[in-house]
Structure 1
């Protein structure tokens, strides 16, 4: 009978091994990317990626250093990496033997009535007994079919995903700080332009007042000149609300008080420059963009999870052993007769689980499909961001150049009108209209320059940002 029982058990395990096939195939074709970016600049005149950030601005240098050392968002991302590494260490440790030790002292008292009172003559037993034991145990799953190895691969891939996500958080943080510093410097240049407009309008109002008092001009000229000056003062006052918003944003990003932020922003501003956009290939996004790298690592993790789920249909082998001491007297504990031990090997496999494992495999396959589509989405989001950023750099550069030309022409027209009035060839109304047309042209040019500089930061982020 034992022989038939053994044969039945082996047949059942063989049957389960035959039923268990490879995991379902989930197609993950590589996304097809274009050969080049549509708005990419000429490679012969391209600049470097890091030059797109305002590295020469002392405010950006100070604030970014503070953020990298104290930002809660970065600290949270670092903790996620540590969490993923701990999970990977646990998955790796599962492949190693589990060794333990224990010791015990057991006291037992027996009621002699349970053995009846009619014992043969000369037969007696102790009703109280104390045993002493110490054991060293070991258990190991040799992972012959790779279930634990697949789980470890999944855990390591999730470490890579957490690391890439942390890099994405770092890039987003630096990009926000760079954009805020550029906006602050743009406000300074807008303020300077408005102050020039205010000075010119105040001078016109003064001249109109002189002409009014001399009786050679109506008071209406003075009123119009003063209204132009009031408009400049209103625009100047509106800048403060934008400064307040920027300081609040930088306090959040850097985890520093407003006084520290204002101190950093008060440092001297460098000369405004517009770095040349670097030329790169769309395929570079696959190795530079943190979100793409994180999505690729997640896809690898889901692939390993699918393999691990499929391997649950195969038999599991287990080896265990124990060696120890067992004695009924403390003095006999280290006697050679007290040495005991066991050695066992087992194999177990699912026979009838009524679709439980198949459902887990289907769920793992669906998760892999979702991870692949998320990866494709990340790739094309990166491609779209880069195309838009390159195009934005080109368009904002054109806008800034046009705004500079507009400001120069309108300022020249205002000066010519003043010259003609002094020569008696133009009236005051012509001068006032020319000045009002020139007003805000310098501010518009400064704002356009700021948008062009800010577009470089967006391009830096779109291309993957910093590699460290």
Structure 2
């Protein structure tokens, strides 16, 4: 009796063994603080401040509606969600290996033998029927091999969950950028059409002056060149507006959506201020970094399975049921049958296969560590770039608006002097072109600033509700 208790105690103790290495999160290979002041516009947020969810960041109602539509219909996000369910199913499959698989079986045979094959020399007819319930080849996980594989599958499942969150963040940012590009190209188209009308009016005036001998053929040709250049811009931005709408519809995942044709002024308050903390630890919350860490943990668990392969494995097959030569006597008394068949396998010589498997698992872990650290470094750079761009874009916009004002004044004076006959038409055309280019660049600069804010919002892991 004492030996039985001791044996059970040893079995239970071994059943709790795990050869998975203790997981240690690698230290972030970046500076402890983000570059610059790390805080937006005088905010006094704590170092643990996090960006808002997307409804709090994007203020335009039409854009909010489009993002909601994309989250419901985008096919990339749908694939990411299905991948989560697929890896969850794989985890459940792997986890089921920890438990015995109970099955029932019934069989029956009936056979006739001719006399020359029968021991009695007479033709015989024999039958055998059975019904059993049992376990087949259940591995007793004494050294944690099956549990290690289960843990690896669980971490892969967690990784796909984070991949889905990363896809959602990218989708939110993608829809916002596509919508802003559409608004910017619509503004460029409106500016080009307005400029074309101005050039056509100037051309008509120059043509009348040419007909009465006041303007020269060169001035008429110069005015015509400006008109054709503006027409090129109009055609270009009409094409870009149509392509922007198509790109946005692809992200939305549906052919039509309210808000797709809505317009918004780029100089409005389209985005909220982002509170940015000063600690680089914030980056560890990003879904892509969490995904890389879960993949690293899965590789760590795989080492435990590779180590456990060096030790004996015990399989158990057992069944109980009834058997009879007649179907009518299958459940009669005395027809019971049972089978107990334990099996132990001990690797002795594998030509280095087990050691190679362990080396491979450890190398995979080293690779995952490098990928995890690389993900942190990439995230640090993205945030650093966003912080660096924010201040410079503000300065650029201020200078660009000043340039538009100066160009407007230059155009106003050039037009007055041209009508008064003081300056030539060449000066007026130069003023018109400079004003057109300055306004175009102002729209482009504002779009770049907004895109930079969205990139920083994405880099900080914002967007998930």
Q: CA 1:67/1:91 → structure 2, altered by over 3 Å: closer, same or farther?
A: same
- Structure 1 residues 410 and 345, CA, compared in 2 at 3 Å: closer, same or farther? same
Task: Identify the residue that residue 246 of structure 1 maps to in structure 2.
Answer: 244
Q: 1:110 and 1:440, CA in 2 relative to 1: closer, same or farther beyond 3 A? A: same
Give the conservation status (yes or no) of the 8 Å contact 1:100–1:138.
yes
User: Match for 1:459 among 448, 453, 456?
Assistant: 456
1:14 maps to which residue? none
Q: Is residue 73 of structure 1 aligned with residue 69 of structure 2?
A: no
For residue 303 of structure 2, the aligned residue among 306, 326, 340 is 306
Structure 1 equivalent of residue 104 of structure 2 = 101
Q: 1:92 aligns with which of 92, 95, 118?
A: 95
Deviation per residue, 1:306-346 (Å, 9 max, x gap):
11111011122333321111122334322221112233444
Alignment check: 8 A CA contact 1:197 1:440 kept: no
Mean Cα deviation higher: 241-250 or 451-460: 241-250
Aligned pair 1:268/2:271, yes or no?
no
Corresponding pairs, count = 440
CA distance in 2, matches of 1:95, 1:25: 22
1:58–1:269 CA contact under 8 A, matched in 2: no
Distance 2:131 2:123 in 1: 23
Instruction: Give 1:38 deviation, angstroms.
Output: 1.5
2:172–2:463 CA contact under 8 A, matched in 1: no
Is the 1:26–1:368 Cα contact (8 Å) retained in structure 2?
no
Q: Following superposition of structure 1 onto structure 2, how do residues 340-359 of structure 1 map, counting pairs within 5 Å?
A: 340-359=337-356
Match of 1:143 in 2: 141
Q: 1:70-122 CA distances to partner (integer Å, 9 max, x unpaired)?
A: 3222222222212211110011111111111111222244556567679xxxx
> Bigger radius of gyration, 1 or 2?
1
Deviates more, 1:172-181 or 1:197-206: 197-206
Shift of the alpha carbon at 1:148? 1.1
Instruction: State the TM-score, normalizing by the size of structure 2.
Output: 0.83
Check 1:266–1:114 CA distance in 2 against 1; reply closer, same or farther (3 A cut). Answer: closer
> Counterpart of 1:229?
227
Q: Is the CA contact (8 Å cut-off) linking 1:54 and 1:178 kept in structure 2?
A: no
**Alpha-carbon separation, structure 2, partners of 1:51 and 1:82:** 25
1:44 aligned counterpart, secondary structure: coil
RMSD between aligned alpha carbons?
3.3
Report the equivalent of 2:177. 179
Q: How far is the alpha carbon of 1:407 from its aligned partner?
A: 0.6
State which drifts further: 133-142 or 407-416: 133-142
Structure 2 unaligned regions, length at least 5: 1-13
More displaced stretch, 277-286 vs 374-383 = 277-286
In the aligned structure 1, how far is the partner of 2:218 from the partner of 2:351?
A: 95
Superposed displacement of residue 48, structure 1: 4.5
1:397-416 correspondence runs (5 A) = 397-416=394-413
Compared CA separation, residues 102 and 116, structure 1 to 2 (3 A): closer
Once residues 440 and 56 of structure 2 are traced to their aligned partners in structure 1, the CA distance between those partners, rounded to angstroms, is: 23
Show the counterpart of 2:186: 188
Secondary structure of the structure 2 residue equivalent to 1:358: helix
